[in-house]
A and B are shown apart, each in its own frame.
Chain A
Amino acid sequence: MLLETDKHKSWIDRRIVKEEIDKYMDDGKDFIPHDKIYEQLKANKNPDSQQVRDILQKSLAIKNLTPDETAILMNVTDKDLLEEMKDAAFKVKIKVYDNRIITFAPLYMGNYCVNNCSYCGFRVDNTDQKRKVLSSEEIRREVEVLAGKIGHRRLIIVYGEHPSNDVDYILSSMKEIYDVKVPLPSGGVGNIRRVNVNAPPFCVSDLKKIHDVGIGTYQVFQETYNRDVYSRVHPAGTLKGDYHWRLYCMHRALEAGIDDVGIGVLFGLGDWRFEVLAMIYHSWELENKFGIGPHTISFPRLEPSLNTDMDAFAPFRVSDEDFMRIMLTIRLAVPFTGMILTAREKAQIRREAIALGITQTDASSNIELGGYSGCECGDPQHEDQQQFMLGDTRSLDEVIREFSEMGYITSFCTAGYRCGRTGKCIMDLLRSGTEGKFCKLNAVLTFREWLDDFASPETREAGEKVLNMELKQIEERQPGIWPKFRENYYKICDGQRDINM
Chain B
Amino acid sequence: MDKEISTCRSAFIADFKKRASELEDRLPVCLQLVEVFGQRWSYIAGSIPQAEQMVNHFRIQINTYFGLIVYSPAVVDEAVIIEIREVMQC
A residues bordering B, Cβ < 8 Å? Answer: 178, 193-194, 211-216, 257, 259, 417-426, 428-429, 432, 434, 437-438, 480-481, 484, 501
- Asked if B48 lies at the interface with its beta carbon under 8 angstroms from chain A, I say yes
Q: Is the CB of B51 within 8 A of A434?
A: yes
Q: Is the CB of A419 within 8 A of B69?
A: yes
Residue from the list B43, B52, B69, B73 in contact with A423, Cβ < 8 A:
B43
The distance in angstroms between the C-alpha atoms of A48 and B75, with both chains bound, is: 53
**Which single residue of chain B is at the shortest CB-CB distance from A438?**
B54
Residue from the list B37, B49, B59, B73 in contact with A211, Cβ < 8 A:
B37
Q: Is the CB of B39 within 8 A of A420?
A: no
B32, B57, B59, B69: most-surrounded residue (chain A CB, <10 A)? B57
Q: Is the CB of B38 within 8 A of A419?
A: no
**Which single residue of chain A is at the shortest CB-CB distance from B51?**
A434
The distance in angstroms between the C-alpha atoms of A213 and B40, with both chains bound, is: 8
The distance in angstroms between the C-alpha atoms of A194 and B38, with both chains bound, is: 11
**Which single residue of chain A is at the shortest CB-CB distance from B67?**
A420
The distance in angstroms between the C-alpha atoms of A74 and B73, with both chains bound, is: 43
Q: Which A residues lie within 8 Å of B69 (CB)? A: 419-420
The distance in angstroms between the C-alpha atoms of A432 and B38, with both chains bound, is: 29
Nearest-neighbour CB distance to chain A for B88, whole angstroms, equals: 15
Interchain residue pairs with CB less than 8 A apart (15): A212-B37, A214-B40, A257-B42, A417-B40, A418-B40, A419-B59, A419-B69, A420-B67, A421-B43, A422-B42, A422-B43, A425-B43, A426-B43, A428-B48, A438-B54
Contact with A along B31-53 (1 / 0, CB 8 A): 01011011111110000111110
Q: Which B residues lie within 8 Å of A257 (CB)? A: 35, 37, 42
Interface of B is mostly: strand
Q: Which A residues lie within 8 Å of B11 (CB)? A: none
Q: Which B residues lie within 8 Å of A212 (CB)? A: 37-38
**Which single residue of chain A is at the shortest CB-CB distance from B68?**
A420
The distance in angstroms between the C-alpha atoms of A429 and B47, with both chains bound, is: 11
The distance in angstroms between the C-alpha atoms of A194 and B49, with both chains bound, is: 23
Q: Is the CB of A418 within 8 A of B55?
A: no
The distance in angstroms between the C-alpha atoms of A194 and B34, with both chains bound, is: 18
Given A434-B54, A437-B51, A438-B54, does the pair A417, B41 have CB atoms closer than 8 Å?
yes
Q: Is the CB of A438 within 8 A of B51?
A: yes
The distance in angstroms between the C-alpha atoms of A484 and B67, with both chains bound, is: 24
Q: Is the CB of B51 within 8 A of A420?
A: no
Q: Is the CB of B37 within 8 A of A420?
A: no
- Asked if B56 lies at the interface with its beta carbon under 8 angstroms from chain A, I say yes
**Which single residue of chain A is at the shortest CB-CB distance from B57?**
A419
Q: Which B residues lie within 8 Å of A481 (CB)? A: 55
Q: Is the CB of A425 within 8 A of B37?
A: no
Q: Is the CB of B37 within 8 A of A214?
A: yes
Q: Is the CB of B52 within 8 A of A420?
A: no
Q: Is the CB of B55 within 8 A of A484?
A: yes
**Which single residue of chain B is at the shortest CB-CB distance from A259?**
B42
Q: Which A residues lie within 8 Å of B56 (CB)? A: 484
The distance in angstroms between the C-alpha atoms of A215 and B42, with both chains bound, is: 10
B50, B54, B57, B59: most-surrounded residue (chain A CB, <10 A)? B54
**Which single residue of chain A is at the shortest CB-CB distance from B34?**
A420
Nearest-neighbour CB distance to chain B for A306, whole angstroms, equals: 36
Nearest-neighbour CB distance to chain B for A156, whole angstroms, equals: 16
> Besides the contacts A211-B40, A214-B38, A419-B57, what 12 more A-B pairs have beta carbons closer than 8 Å?
A212-B38, A214-B39, A257-B35, A418-B41, A419-B41, A420-B43, A434-B49, A437-B51, A480-B52, A480-B73, A484-B55, A501-B54
The distance in angstroms between the C-alpha atoms of A501 and B58, with both chains bound, is: 10
Nearest-neighbour CB distance to chain A for B31, whole angstroms, equals: 10
Q: Which A residues lie within 8 Å of B67 (CB)? A: 420
Contact with A along B2-37 (1 / 0, CB 8 A): 000000000000000000000000000000101101
Q: Which 6 A-B pairs have the closest CB atoms?
A: A214-B38, A425-B43, A214-B39, A420-B34, A420-B69, A214-B40
Q: Which B residues lie within 8 Å of A428 (CB)? A: 48
Q: Is the CB of A259 within 8 A of B43?
A: yes
Q: Which B residues lie within 8 Å of A429 (CB)? A: 48-49
The distance in angstroms between the C-alpha atoms of A426 and B42, with both chains bound, is: 10
Q: Is the CB of A193 within 8 A of B43?
A: no
Q: Which A residues lie within 8 Å of B42 (CB)? A: 211, 257, 259, 417, 420, 422-423
Nearest-neighbour CB distance to chain B for A115, whole angstroms, equals: 29
Q: Is the CB of B39 within 8 A of A434?
A: no
The distance in angstroms between the C-alpha atoms of A301 and B51, with both chains bound, is: 37
Q: Which B residues lie within 8 Å of A418 (CB)? A: 39-41
Q: Which B residues lie within 8 Å of A193 (CB)? A: 39
Given A434-B50, A481-B55, does the pair A425, B40 have CB atoms closer than 8 Å?
no
Q: Which B residues lie within 8 Å of A420 (CB)? A: 32, 34, 41-43, 59, 67, 69
The distance in angstroms between the C-alpha atoms of A216 and B37, with both chains bound, is: 11
Q: Which B residues lie within 8 Å of A194 (CB)? A: 39
Nearest-neighbour CB distance to chain B for A404, whole angstroms, equals: 26
Q: Which B residues lie within 8 Å of A423 (CB)? A: 42-43
The distance in angstroms between the C-alpha atoms of A501 and B56, with both chains bound, is: 7
Nearest-neighbour CB distance to chain B for A186, whole angstroms, equals: 22
Q: Which B residues lie within 8 Å of A417 (CB)? A: 39-42
